[in-house]
Structure 1
Amino acid sequence: MSSRPTRTLVSLTGPAGNLGDALIRRGGLEWALDTSDELVAYVGDAPDVWLRQLGVPTGTRVLRSKRSVARWLWLLATAPRHPVLVFEAGEVPLDRGNVLREVVFLAETLIVRLKRGVVVRPTRGIRAPTNPALWLHARAARLSQIALWRDAASAALAGGGRVVPDIGFGAGVRPGLPACERDELIVSLRGARALPDDAWFAAVRDAAASAGLRIRTVVQVREDETRARELADALGGVFEPWGDTDPVVQEDALRARYDRARLVVSDRMHVLVLAALSGAVPAELVPHPTGKITAAFESIGLRGLSLDAADGDAEAMREFLVGQLGRADEVRGRVAQAADELASVEAEVRATIRAARA
């Protein structure tokens, strides 16, 4: 007599115009693949291209829009014994507007545990913590067999837990070009920030010139495209638009660009993660950095990658950027270790699921 079918549910919401979000959602999906007979994915309002970006396999039951949340809960409640629930990796806002959402997530966790299933929370970071949302989130995390944090501060807010590399570091280490052939300094900044000041531009231009690097601006998040054009104009660099390029093609093109970069300057964490995976040295240089990038890279042993540009000291900024250029071997070593650790975590996730069903 055959055993009853099993079910895994994975949350995969996110905007198709943000390649960093696609990167970490894909990581969570990879942990969920082949863990059950049936795979259910909730993608919110994402378009069809989002499914291609993530590599959602044919045969997955895909739920869309908030109208399908009731269906999602029903599939959880009616799942055979030992279901698997995989939450999204990434940043978790816990401000006062998210209390109801956290109540629902706690209920989902309880349902799965009562069915003797497994709850997996891939690497996350907490933003804007307020109670009772934080309290609810911490309770749900403690009830989950696998609850991971990408920085020590988030783990502390949740009352403890494991700190592991951001799941984006598992996206594949690339050899890229040899150091002697890398000829670009790449810049990608958030469009929502004010333009940097003249001292910042002078520092970036001088650092590139001193190393013999061409400046290129790229777009990893669609809303940053206008900013990338402005930066290229001010830096005398090459602007590479996203335009109408398919997101899957755009991600491949960007990773190829990072393969030939010596230094990548950004205030977007997953720009710097992908850059580091390609062997480029990541650097955050903006006024009043949030600390998110610093914390995520410190968790893999890379410190000193961020500098606050608020004081407008062009020489200090130039020295910072030039100093980063000598860290390529250190970056490669730490990133390789992070990738190995994430592979071990994925193996642990799969072993936990097998043990629950034994």
Structure 2
Amino acid sequence: MILRTKRSVPRWLWMLLTAPSRPVLVFEAGEVPLDRGNKLRELVFLAETVLIRLKGGVVVRPPRGIRAATVPALWLHACAARLSQFALWRDATSAALANCGTVAPDIGFAADASDESPRPLRDELIVSLRGARAMPGPAWIEAVRSTAAIEGLRIRTVVQVREDESRAREVATALGGEFEPWGDTDSVVQEARLRRSYKRARLVVSDRMHVLILAALNGAVPAELVPRPTQKITVAFEVIGVRGISLDAEAADAAGMRDFLHAQLGRSAEIIERVEVARQRLIEVESGIRDAIRKARA
């Protein structure tokens, strides 16, 4: 059973109370906000964790990152994490705040790698930017456009998160590139379409972490190039041993941004190797979790 909303909490607690022995509780991966408004939620999650352990079950917390930590929400969350058999963090800072568990690659790296079917020539530079950010400035536009021209790449903008569709259209117009809309396409079909697009790309520029991860899994070189980038993408790739993937566009001119993108293009083999190591690490983690569940239920 998958429960997602606050209205599901009573049903969730009732299911745990009435569940047979040795149930399994798996939390979602991603960011965990621990500001003052989340202390009641964390108290509920702590109670659920205690209940599962009393029933001889297994609690799994996939790679997560702590955000906006405050007391007592952090203390409650850390207690629950310590009581869980698996507490994984996608960055060292979160692991230190919780003072337990281990650092592991973001769960996005567990997605299937690019298959070995015949691939088209990598002759595209793909851009996918957040719609909530300001439109990139003239220097950014010049850097991306000139990089594509020098490298002989066609420019295409794609949409991995539906709310970014208008921005993708706007950026394509500014860059003189091709816009690939989401439209009415089913999300599963859209992911398959994106994978095909990333297989055609040599370089993918984005400020969305999972755009860059999916691109890297499909053999493209990822690069974060936006004004004042957050540390989320930098940290996620540093955890797998890939450094220098981000550049603050606000602190660089067009030539500096172009040099950064050119340097990224030379890192293809390194990134493919690191991404595969990360994927194998997550396969090992999953195997360990499945073994623990089997033993608990034996």
TM range (shorter): over 0.9
SS at match of 2:202: strand
| Runs of 4+ displaced beyond 3 Å | 175-180
User: Which residue pairs with 2:3 in the alignment?
Assistant: 42
Alignment of 1:1-358 (within 5 A): 40-44=1-5, 66-175=6-115, 181-358=121-298
| Cα deviation digits, residues 288-327 of structure 1 (max 9, x gap) | 1110001011111111100111124111100000110011
| Cα deviation digits, residues 169-205 of structure 1 (max 9, x gap) | 1111104788992011110111111111111111111
Deviates more, 1:155-164 or 1:263-272: 155-164
Taking only the aligned residue pairs, the percentage that are identical comes to: 70
| Cα deviation digits, residues 64-88 of structure 1 (max 9, x gap) | xx43321111011111111100000
User: Which residue pairs with 1:48 in the alignment?
Assistant: none
CA contact (8 A) 2:129 2:207 kept: yes
Whole-Å Cα distance in 1 between the matches of residues 170 and 116 of structure 2?
28
For 1:304, give the aligned amino acid: G
| Cα deviation digits, residues 205-257 of structure 1 (max 9, x gap) | 11111110011111111111111111001111111111111111111101110
SS at match of 2:139: helix
For 1:112, give the aligned amino acid: I
Whole-Å Cα distance in 2 between the matches of residues 179 and 316 of structure 1?
32
Distance 1:330 1:179, change over 3 A: farther
User: Which residue pairs with 1:9 in the alignment?
Assistant: none
Whole-Å Cα distance in 1 between the matches of residues 157 and 167 of structure 2?
9
Any gaps of 5 or more consecutive residues in structure 2? none
| Cα deviation digits, residues 247-288 of structure 1 (max 9, x gap) | 111111011101111010000000001000000011000111
Whole-Å Cα distance in 2 between the matches of residues 177 and 207 of structure 1?
29
For 2:102, give the aligned amino acid: R
| Cα deviation digits, residues 56-112 of structure 1 (max 9, x gap) | xxxxxxxxxx43321111011111111100000111111111111111111110110
CA contact (8 A) 1:134 1:158 kept: yes
CA contact (8 A) 1:176 1:259 kept: no
For 2:225, give the aligned amino acid: L
Any gaps of 5 or more consecutive residues in structure 1? 1-39, 45-65
CA contact (8 A) 1:92 1:124 kept: yes
Whole-Å Cα distance in 2 between the matches of residues 100 and 82 of structure 1?
26
For 2:177, give the aligned amino acid: G
Whole-Å Cα distance in 2 between the matches of residues 200 and 312 of structure 1?
9
Give the TM-score, by structure 2 length: 0.97
For 1:204, give the aligned amino acid: V
Whole-Å Cα distance in 2 between the matches of residues 312 and 167 of structure 1?
32
Distance 1:230 1:176, change over 3 A: farther
CA contact (8 A) 1:176 1:279 kept: no
CA contact (8 A) 2:120 2:200 kept: no
For 2:100, give the aligned amino acid: G
Whole-Å Cα distance in 1 between the matches of residues 200 and 34 of structure 2?
38
CA contact (8 A) 2:86 2:101 kept: no
| Offset, 1:356 | 2.1
User: Which residue pairs with 1:21 in the alignment?
Assistant: none
